[in-house]
A and B are shown apart, each in its own frame.
Chain A
Amino acid sequence: MPAISPLTPIRASDHTAGTHGTALTARNLSVFFGQHQVLKRVSLDIAARAVTAIIGPSGCGKSTFLRALNRMHELTPEARMEGDIRLFGEDIYARHVEPVVVRRRVGMVFQKSNPFPTMSIAENVTVGLRLNGLRDKTTLTERTEQSLRMAALWDEVKDRLHAPAISLSGGQQQRLCIARALAVQPEVLLMDEPASALDPLATSHIEELILELKRNFSIVIVTHNMQQAARISDFTAFFYLGELVEFGPTNKVFMNPEKRQTEDYVTGRFG
């Protein structure tokens, strides 16, 4: 785990982003579902403490790429991968590495909020810690507050931590899921279209939150929303038909793309 030092805030447009080294390295990553090749030899570096956006039309493999980063794709029957992914230099597909451990270091937030409906707000936040064997009440309480603050939800729920998680609004539920993912202190946070089911106000909350979180976490976000990618990401990767077409600083990908396909997509000519 990288030491968390006080950082100067980094803006999405700031080109100094990514100076904290590389969190994840994918090399020649191919993923197959049965006979179908979904990802074709993708090589990509995910910068530490920065936001990397993955864009591309539906079915381009961007979600699969995301899920390969914490081995979630292995839950799909007949999934198979080739290539190499390293988390701060460590091969996460090495023989002795358990997927369970990888997922504790690389957290994930989903398109639809999915709090555990039988648990309270507080229990949802601490469930990952409790899975890790943490039992100490004071630590759990501290982490609950800390995680909910990081997820910008604390002020809204501090008086009803023991209310059922499903009593929250859609946007709040999604921030609760973010808090739940943050509580186990992952090094990388993967987000699969985290705001696509939310209204504009809730979406802007999530976006502000992401900009805040990248001070401490490395974030990879899949999004369908070009404006969103432009607003919040430092780097953008454009996927098409399972291949990585273009990757670079977000400004460059949007303003001055090298490939024609990228330009067509980001300007909305196809998608």
Chain B
Amino acid sequence: MQQTMSQPATNAPRTGAPGADRAFQWLTLLMALSVFALIALIGYELMRGARLSLHHFGWRFLVNSDWDPVNDIYGALPAIFGTLASSVIALLLAVPLGIGTAIYLTELAPLWLRQPLIMFIELLAAVPSVILGFWGMSVLVPWLRTLLFPWLQKLFGFLPLFQGPAGSGFSLLAAGIILAIMIVPIITSVSREILRSVPGLQREAAYALGGTRWEVTRIAVLSYAKKGLFGAVILGLGRALGETMAVMMVIGNSPQIVLKLFAPASTMASVIANEFNETPPAGLYPSALFELGLVLLGVTVVVNIFAQLLLKTFAGPSVKPQP
């Protein structure tokens, strides 16, 4: 210790600091590790709950299209179909909207408009799922039934996708629209970050060749960023796959596989949330729901890891001067 230290008293607590520091480090490490433990535990519990169903149905669970609690026969295919179909509809609507908005925000919008727009998009992300579902039930569904469905049928009625009775409005399309609204913010904000990371020099190169704004965006920005944008889309897909509440409220909850936009359907998440309260405490029925959860968890984990990998490896195909 240095003699010049004016207040030796302050050194006293310092001598204890290394021990406390180490404890702090261990404590935070433990907290961080608990995340892994939680995921493992969730996986394990789902597996345990699904044991009966796994044993009983085996792989047939994934390809069986009957979901029939009365006869105790459970197949995941209708829910898997509904999950994928509603997510695809959501992506078809949300990807152009989200990426288009991101392009406007980074490339075209006047500076004063950018911040307010970004704020509104983030606000949209903050709307609770149940509120969106509520709006979907009370506004969107009646509107689909009375206006959009008849109109679409008049225009595209020759396509099987648009045929069939217009029904109640509770439908695959309603779920797709609600999901689209929910994933537009994440697609927009991740795409915006990606586009912002495109070097200005790339844009200048295209401008200097006499490119118009659209041409510059196309050849210098979008092609540079496409991998990252794909990551943003997959991240949106991950969100859409697992979304429960709002979807359950508008999809009509019918375990059928009908490739028609106006037909009701169900998703893995909506089936679980909808039926779990009604199941007996033990038996094949709750076990099948557990297995459905296991499938959903597996799919979303894989999709999310894929998205993260895409976004991580997008440092851009960098232009590095070599020695």
Question: Which residues of chain A have a CB within 8 Å of any CB of chain B?
Answer: 70, 72, 75, 77, 100-104, 107-108, 110, 112-119, 127-128, 131-132, 164, 166, 168-170, 173, 177, 180-181, 184, 197-198
Contacts and interface: CB of A to CB of B under 8 A. Distances in A.
B207 interface: yes
Given A170-B322, A173-B321, 19 more contacts: A103-B209, A103-B210, A107-B208, A110-B204, A112-B321, A116-B202, A116-B205, A116-B206, A116-B220, A117-B318, A118-B226, A127-B206, A127-B219, A128-B209, A131-B211, A173-B319, A177-B205, A180-B209, A184-B209
A118 B210 contact: no
Interface string B297-323: 000000000000000000011111111
Contacts of B212: 100
B223 A116 contact: yes
A198 B322 CA distance: 10
Contacts of B211: 100, 131
B35 interface: no
B201 interface: yes
B202 A114 contact: yes
A108 B210 CA distance: 10
Given A110-B205, A131-B210, A177-B205, A117 B319 contact: yes
B224 interface: yes
Contacts of A108: 204, 208
Contact of A114 (B204, B210, B226): B204
Nearest to A117: B317
A72 B319 contact: no
Contacts of A198: 321
B318 A112 contact: no
Nearest to B202: A114
Contacts of B224: 116-118
Contacts of A181: 208-209
Interface string B180-211: 00000000000000000001011111111111
A217 to B, nearest CB: 15
A116 B219 contact: yes
A9 B320 CA distance: 35
B215 interface: yes
Contacts of A169: 321-323
B127 interface: no
B208 to A, nearest CB: 4
8 contacts: A72-B204, A103-B209, A107-B208, A116-B224, A128-B210, A169-B322, A180-B209, A197-B321
B201 A110 contact: yes
A131 B206 CA distance: 10
A107 B204 CA distance: 11
A75 B318 CA distance: 23
Contacts of A100: 210-212
A113 B319 CA distance: 8
B227 to A, nearest CB: 9
B316 A117 contact: yes
A114 B209 contact: no
B204 A75 contact: yes
Q: Sorted from nearest, which 9 A-B pairs have the closest CB atoms?
A: A170-B321, A104-B210, A128-B209, A108-B208, A117-B317, A114-B201, A103-B210, A114-B205, A118-B223
A166 B211 CA distance: 21
B204 to A, nearest CB: 6
Contacts of B320: 166
A119 B111 CA distance: 31
B321 A107 contact: no
B236 to A, nearest CB: 23
B219 A131 contact: yes
A111 to B, nearest CB: 9
A72 B207 contact: yes
